């Protein structure tokens, strides 16, 4: 065994020993606060502890209104004030049990056992990662390729930011419902998808990959876009300076007497904001020693006392600016621009290809998408704008709903802009022109047989 492997084994054994001697203690307190449930987590500290806790709470669709974090030294102590999606204290015993099981001693014991014996859950799908230049109709072209290859998309997340599009797709074989393991078939799919992503003008170069491991899908999207340097403006190398909706302010200051750097984030509050900032700090190799989070109104305030993993604070102005820009990008990636359309119907192969084709034909651009499958039902959400990124006119939305099914596709936003009939006609004409160009592109790739 090489020295590096021996060192990793020693570290793993030491970590397991610390966990056995100091198992995590999780307390769900419904009495101390009138407005929120307190989730208290005490455990031995390890790298990534904070992100693991925030990820569990976020995945349970809980809103964190306050958080007090302290992990200085060898011990990790956090208190989170959480409410459910309706803004109420937790009353569902199943949710409380899941918090305790996911963060408590039992969860750590299972994780430790998996590490020691190399056990991994059998994959139920194949994951494909995509990154490329965003353009209207891109998602429709991607789903058309997969439908033509007889691949069923059982889950997907699609983010767009700063002219880039990133996606993680979970696919299965149409006939068997099993993961796709044929390397030749996967290689062919990757090549076709890469050609679609490149289009005519991807200067950075599109990338596709078959994902390995079981990284959290939203964390993986942050990692993909960070690696793609989406925090740098695409056109002139400058950094995006304006927040499209609501004020965003990120500062990094020195705390010389304690040896920390202090990061302050102020912005419009939204779901999963804390996850996005903690995920970015963790993946940039910063350790959060203390933090305070307040998000009980329309604005959120987060303060982090951090050091790099080597124990040093932020050491230069260049590093400070890069950290600021990366946090700003992480917050903007999930901003929900556009009208939210929710699709719920019986799942079938080619459903996403058909739906996004109708979007494309009506001049709609998908800014973000969440695709899930629950049993035999497809439960999907799309945030759409017009091709220029502006709000969609009501006539266009109604035309799309009529084509897909008004009971199948619902508008989440109760109020959206009105436009005169001639404007709707103009949008329809634009959609027809765009459809012709897009179908010609797919025809040239060999994805469709006719562009008529």
* CATH code for the structural domain at 1-118: 3.30.70.260
Residue 145 is predicted with a pLDDT of: 96
Identical fold for domains 1-118 and 246-334, yes or no, is yes
For domain 246-334, which architecture applies?
Answer: 2-Layer Sandwich (3.30)
Query: What pLDDT sits at residue 326?
Result: 98
Quote the Cα angle for 309-315-316, to 5°: 140
Which pairing describes strands 126-133 and 207-210: parallel, antiparallel, or unpaired?
antiparallel
CATH superfamily placement of domain 126-212+336-445: ACT domain (3.30.70.260)
Query: What are the structural domain ranges in the chain?
Result: 1-118, 126-212+336-445, 246-334
**158 within 8 A of 165, measured Cβ to Cβ:** yes
**Residue 393, Cα to own-chain centre: how many angstroms?**
27
Selection from 146, 98, 89 nearest residue 354 by Cα: 146
- Structural contact between residues 414 and 112, judged by C-beta atoms closer than 8 angstroms: no
- Cα-flanking dihedrals φ and ψ of residue 63, to 5°? -100, 125
Q: How far apart are CA 430 and CA 201, in angstroms?
A: 21
Summarize pLDDT for 363-373 with one digit per residue, the tens: 999 999 999 99
- pTM for this prediction: 0.83
The alpha carbon of residue 105 and the mean position of all alpha carbons in its chain are separated, in whole angstroms, by 28
User: Rounded to an integer, what distance in angstroms lies between the CA atom of residue 411 and that of residue 382?
Assistant: 10
What pLDDT, on the 0 to 100 scale, is given for residue 6? Answer: 42
Q: Are 281 and 306 in contact (CB under 8 A)?
A: yes
- Could you tell me if 200 and 142 are in contact, meaning their C-beta atoms sit under 8 angstroms apart? no
pLDDT digits (tens, 9 = 90+) for 297-326: 899 999 999 999 999 999 999 999 999 999
Residues of the chain with pLDDT below 50 are 1-10, 109-121, 235-245, 414-415, 417-437, 441, 445, 447, 450-452
| pLDDT score for 114 | 38
Beta-bridge partners for 208:
130
pLDDT in tens, 274-293: 999 999 999 999 999 999 99
């Amino acid at each position: 065994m090489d020295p590096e492997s021996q060192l990793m084994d020693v570290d793993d054994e030491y970590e397991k020993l610390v966990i056995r001697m100091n198992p995590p203690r999780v307390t769900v307190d419904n009495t101390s606060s009138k407005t929120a449930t307190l989730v208290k987590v005490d455990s031995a500290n390890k790298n990534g502890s904070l992100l693991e806790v925030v990820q569990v709470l976020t995945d349970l669709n809980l809103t964190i209104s306050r958080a007090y974090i302290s992990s200085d030294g060898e011990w990790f102590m956090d208190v989170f004030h959480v409410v459910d999606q309706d803004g109420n204290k937790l009353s569902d015993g199943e949710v409380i049990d899941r918090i305790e099981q996911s963060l408590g001693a039992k969860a750590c014991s299972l994780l430790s056992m998996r590490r020691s014996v190399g056990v991994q859950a059998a994959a139920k799908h194949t994951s494909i990662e995509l990154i490329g230049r965003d353009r209207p109709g891109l998602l429709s072209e991607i789903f058309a390729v997969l439908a033509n290859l007889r691949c069923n998309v059982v889950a997907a997340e699609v983010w767009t930011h700063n002219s880039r599009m990133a996606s993680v797709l979970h696919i299965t074989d149409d006939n068997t419902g099993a993961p796709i393991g044929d390397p030749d078939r996967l290689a062919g799919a990757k090549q076709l998808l890469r050609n679609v992503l490149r289009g005519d003008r991807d200067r950075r170069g599109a990338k596709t990959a078959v994902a390995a491991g079981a990284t959290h899908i939203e964390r993986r999207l942050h990692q993909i876009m960070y690696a793609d340097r989406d925090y740098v403006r695409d056109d002139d190398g400058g950094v995006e300076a304006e927040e499209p909706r609501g004020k965003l302010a990120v500062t990094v200051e020195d705390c010389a007497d304690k040896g920390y750097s202090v990061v302050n984030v102020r912005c419009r509050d939204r779901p999963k904001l804390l996850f996005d900032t903690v995920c970015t700090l963790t993946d940039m190799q910063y350790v959060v020693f203390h933090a305070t989070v307040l998000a009980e109104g329309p604005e959120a305030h987060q303060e982090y006392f951090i050091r790099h993993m080597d124990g040093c604070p932020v050491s230069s102005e260049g590093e400070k600016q890069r950290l600021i820009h990366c946090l700003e990008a992480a917050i903007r990636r999930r901003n929900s621009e556009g009208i939210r359309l929710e699709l719920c119907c019986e799942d079938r192969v080619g459903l996403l290809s058909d739906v996004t084709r109708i979007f494309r034909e009506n001049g709609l651009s998908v800014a973000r998408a969440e695709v899930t499958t629950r049993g035999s039902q497809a439960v999907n959400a799309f945030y759409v704008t017009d091709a220029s990124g502006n709000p969609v006119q009501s006539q266009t939305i109604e035309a799309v709903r009529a084509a897909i099914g008004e009971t199948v596709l619902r508008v989440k936003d109760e109020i959206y802009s009105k436009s005169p009939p001639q404007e709707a006609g103009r949008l329809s004409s634009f959609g027809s022109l765009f459809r012709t160009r897009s179908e010609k592109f797919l025809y040239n790739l060999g994805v469709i047989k006719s562009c008529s």
